[in-house]
Chain A
Amino acid sequence: MATKRDLRSLSTLLTPSTLFLGIFFLGPLAVMIIFSFLEPGVYGGVVWNFYHWNYGRILGWADGEWEDFDPVYIDIFLRSVRLALTNVGITLLVCYPAALWVSGLSARWRTFVVFIITLPFFVSLVVRLFCWVLILRPSGFLSTSLMGLGIISEPIDIIYTETAVLIGMAYILLPFMFLPLYASIEKLDHSLLEASADLGANPFQTFWRVILPCTLPGIAAGAVLVFIPSLGNFIVPDLLGGAKVMMIGNLIEQQFLSARNWPFGSALSVMIMLVMFMLIVFYLRRIGRSEIVR
Chain B
Amino acid sequence: MKHPWLKRLLSLHGLLFLAFVYAPIIIVVVYSFNSHPVNMMVWKDFTFDWYLSIFGNPTKLTEQTLYVESTDQLLSAVKNSLTVAVTTTTFATIVGTATALAIYRYHFKLKPFYQGLLYMPMVMPDIVLGIALLVFFINFGVKLGLMSIIIGHCTFLISYVFVVVSARLAGMDSTLEEASADLGANPWATFRRVTLPQILPGIVGGALLAFIISMDDLVITYFIAGVDSTTLPVFIYGMLRRGVKPEINAIATLMLLFSFAIAALGLYFRRRN
Asked if A122 lies at the interface with its beta carbon under 8 angstroms from chain B, I say: yes
Rounded to whole angstroms, the CA-CA distance of A27 and B162 in the bound complex is 20
Query: Hey, which chain B residues are within 8 Å of A189, CB to CB?
Result: none
Asked if A262 lies at the interface with its beta carbon under 8 angstroms from chain B, I say: yes
Q: Say whether A127 contacts B236, CB under 8 Å.
A: yes
Q: Say whether A137 contacts B244, CB under 8 Å.
A: yes
Asked if B240 lies at the interface with its beta carbon under 8 angstroms from chain A, I say: yes
Q: Say whether A232 contacts B1, CB under 8 Å.
A: no
Query: Hey, which chain B residues are within 8 Å of A31, CB to CB?
Result: 132, 135-136, 139
A window 102-131: CB within 8 A of B: 102, 104, 113, 115-117, 119-120, 122-131
Q: Say whether B267 contacts A115, CB under 8 Å.
A: yes
Q: Say whether A171 contacts B128, CB under 8 Å.
A: no
- Render A127-142 as a binary contact track against B, CB cut-off 8 A, 1 for contact: 1111111110101110
The distance from the CB of B260 to the nearest CB of chain A, in whole angstroms, is 7
The distance from the CB of B101 to the nearest CB of chain A, in whole angstroms, is 6
Query: Hey, which chain A residues are within 8 Å of B249, CB to CB?
Result: 134
- Render B254-269 as a binary contact track against A, CB cut-off 8 A, 1 for contact: 0110011011000100
The distance from the CB of A197 to the nearest CB of chain B, in whole angstroms, is 8
Q: Say whether B102 contacts A14, CB under 8 Å.
A: yes
| Interface stretch of the complex, out of B65-73, B193-201, B211-219 | B211-219
Q: Say whether B263 contacts A17, CB under 8 Å.
A: no
A window 1-44: CB within 8 A of B: 2, 6, 10, 12-14, 16-18, 20-21, 24-29, 31-32, 35
Rounded to whole angstroms, the CA-CA distance of A31 and B128 in the bound complex is 12
- Render A243-283 as a binary contact track against B, CB cut-off 8 A, 1 for contact: 00000010011001000001001100100110010001000
The distance from the CB of A224 to the nearest CB of chain B, in whole angstroms, is 8
Q: Say whether B125 contacts A228, CB under 8 Å.
A: yes
Asked if A229 lies at the interface with its beta carbon under 8 angstroms from chain B, I say: yes
| Interface stretch of the complex, out of B23-31, B45-53, B54-62, B175-183 | B23-31
The distance from the CB of A289 to the nearest CB of chain B, in whole angstroms, is 9
Residues of B contacting A: mostly:
helix
A window 69-124: CB within 8 A of B: 94-95, 97-98, 100-102, 104, 113, 115-117, 119-120, 122-124
Asked if B6 lies at the interface with its beta carbon under 8 angstroms from chain A, I say: yes
Q: Say whether B42 contacts A144, CB under 8 Å.
A: yes
Known A-B contacts A14-B102, A28-B136; the reply to A119 vs B263 at CB < 8 A is yes
Question: Which of A6, A21, A130 meets B121, CB within 8 Å?
Answer: A21
Q: Say whether B128 contacts A21, CB under 8 Å.
A: no
Q: Say whether A141 contacts B123, CB under 8 Å.
A: no
Residues of A contacting B: mostly:
helix
Q: Say whether B21 contacts A256, CB under 8 Å.
A: no
Query: Hey, which chain A residues are within 8 Å of B28, CB to CB?
Result: 127, 130-131, 134
Rounded to whole angstroms, the CA-CA distance of A292 and B244 in the bound complex is 39
B window 171-189: CB within 8 A of A: none
Rounded to whole angstroms, the CA-CA distance of A102 and B10 in the bound complex is 9
Rounded to whole angstroms, the CA-CA distance of A27 and B142 in the bound complex is 14
Query: Hey, which chain A residues are within 8 Å of B25, CB to CB?
Result: 120, 123, 128, 131
Q: Say whether B14 contacts A272, CB under 8 Å.
A: no
Would you list 18 pairs from A and B whose C-beta atoms are within 8 A, ordered by A residue?
Answer: A10-B108, A21-B121, A25-B121, A35-B139, A101-B17, A104-B10, A122-B259, A122-B262, A123-B260, A130-B244, A131-B28, A131-B252, A140-B41, A203-B3, A231-B125, A235-B237, A269-B128, A293-B167
**5 new A-B contacts at CB < 8 Å, known A122-B262, A133-B244, A235-B218:** A14-B99, A31-B136, A120-B25, A131-B28, A203-B6
Chain B positions near chain A (C-beta within 8 angstroms): 1-3, 6-7, 10-11, 13-14, 17-18, 20-22, 24-25, 27-28, 31, 39-42, 94-96, 98-99, 101-102, 105-106, 108, 114, 117-121, 123-129, 131-136, 139, 151-152, 154-155, 158, 162-163, 167, 212, 215-216, 218-219, 223, 232-233, 236-237, 240-241, 244, 248-249, 252, 255-256, 259-260, 262-263, 267
